[in-house]
Amino acid sequence: MRRHWTIPQPPAPRLALLLLLAGVFDGASSSSAPPPSASTDLRLDGGPTGWDESQWRVQVDGVMGGKSSGRLSFLDGYMEFSGVIDLDGGGFSSVRRRFSDGGHDLSRYAGVVVTVEADDVVPGSVPLGVHLQFDDSVSQYSFSSAFAVPLSDGSGEEASVFLPMDSFDRGSWIGYQCTDCALDITKIVGMDVYVLFQEGPFEVRIKSVTALAEAASFPSPAVSFDSTDDVVSILEATIYSGGSLYDKSYRELCFALYWSTLSTLVASPAGVPEAVKAVACAGLREAMRQDGKAERAWALRHTMDAILADVQGLERMERTAENTWLPALEELAAAATNKASACTGTTSPSELMVDLDDGSDPIMAMDPSEDKAAKVETDAVMGTSGAVALSAPVLGSSLAVLGTLGTMLCLF
């Protein structure tokens, strides 16, 4: 399903990332894992043997006075979950099932891979954020991990997303979160799929859910862009949708959207300048270096703000201790010729990490005074002679104002 947004002034979110990255360092290639092995991996539902259709049911926010809708069907090997999210009084729709025969012990598994049909990309597209949630037999809370349905050029293209077991750490029950509880992965008795607080129609087509014995990483689908206008459009839409989720305390969903969009830019075979990819890669790396949730959040937000400023010919936000890792304009000019800062776009972070071969980082911060001197050269790298025309100019002007103020406050 094609999803797009009309963009008001966006928020500046903070979000959480609890995982380490696979395949974003120099010399690392994304580990496109083979299909799950029947001898080592565990089918949770779907796949070659089909879905346990009778076990699934729909539950929407009407139980809490909401107006969202949900529909469930099974077709051509997919579980199709669709509906409309209405934020008036609610904001979620879900499908859920229980496991029989005592459930599953997932303690021997590294994580879960969800294979979905990727969403067609159109101008203004934004990835759809989804919660995969487990229930155990010892707690009233359910525990979720977040992923974004990847975008794709081709209708019907499949994509897989790996979720480590320790990412199922958001415990919730009828709207309440717990801070001192944890999923008992030895006693899994239920599995749910949620779409939350992303207003409008949605559709998720899931091919399979499988527990993997070994961690995996999957490449983002290749999406070609017609121009940098399209790059601006997808970043604006992602910031708005992800920021709105963050403001409702769904930080893991916000991060999933941000990660997915930046990885889509990195994986693009056409229409995304190498300089944009260099900034995106720097942001993905920096997010993985940080220890705190807020610090990782700022890394991705600074990344997107820098890309938007660069392609529009605007001044970046003031260089501070929080963003000195961003590649300066002069370095971006070099990135177009040697691709030293290239990385691989992946559908999700992974618990695997690949170190740089020589232990160094090709993305080094430069003195802010060097930015202006390099601007003319970077304009050529960006494929512009200055600013790029915007389809929705409000964000660019907002970024310039924020840069002058030197602040990053949430706008909602």
pLDDT at position 370 over 70: no
CA–chain centroid gap for 61, Å, is: 24
Alpha-carbon span 166 to 173, nearest angstrom: 19
Q: Output the pLDDT for position 132.
A: 98
Tokens of 345: 């776009």
pLDDT at position 397 over 90: no
Q: Output the pLDDT for position 122.
A: 82
* Average pLDDT rounded to a whole number, residues 43-50: 97
Alpha-carbon span 279 to 395, nearest angstrom: 19
Distance in angstroms between the alpha carbons of the first and the last residue of the chain: 28
Report whether 49 contacts 77 (CB < 8 A).
no
* Average pLDDT rounded to a whole number, residues 331-345: 72
* Average pLDDT rounded to a whole number, residues 331-357: 65
* Residue of higher predicted confidence among 302 and 410: 302
Mapped onto helix, strand or coil, the DSSP state of residue 129 is: strand
Backbone angles phi, psi at 250, to 5 degrees: -100, 70
Report whether 117 contacts 2 (CB < 8 A).
no
Does residue 260 come out as left (phi exceeding 0), alpha (psi in the -120 to 50 range) or beta? alpha
Q: Please report which helix (H) or strand (E) contains residue 263, including its range.
A: helix 251-267
pLDDT at position 403 over 50: no
Q: Output the pLDDT for position 358.
A: 36
pLDDT at position 308 over 80: yes
Q: Output the pLDDT for position 335.
A: 67
* Residue of higher predicted confidence among 203 and 365: 203
Kindly compute the dihedral angle of the four CA atoms of residues 20, 264, 201, 113, in this order, to the nearest 10 degrees.
-40
Q: Output the pLDDT for position 286.
A: 84
What's the pLDDT tens digit per position in 230-271?
Answer: 999 999 999 999 989 988 989 899 999 999 999 999 999 999
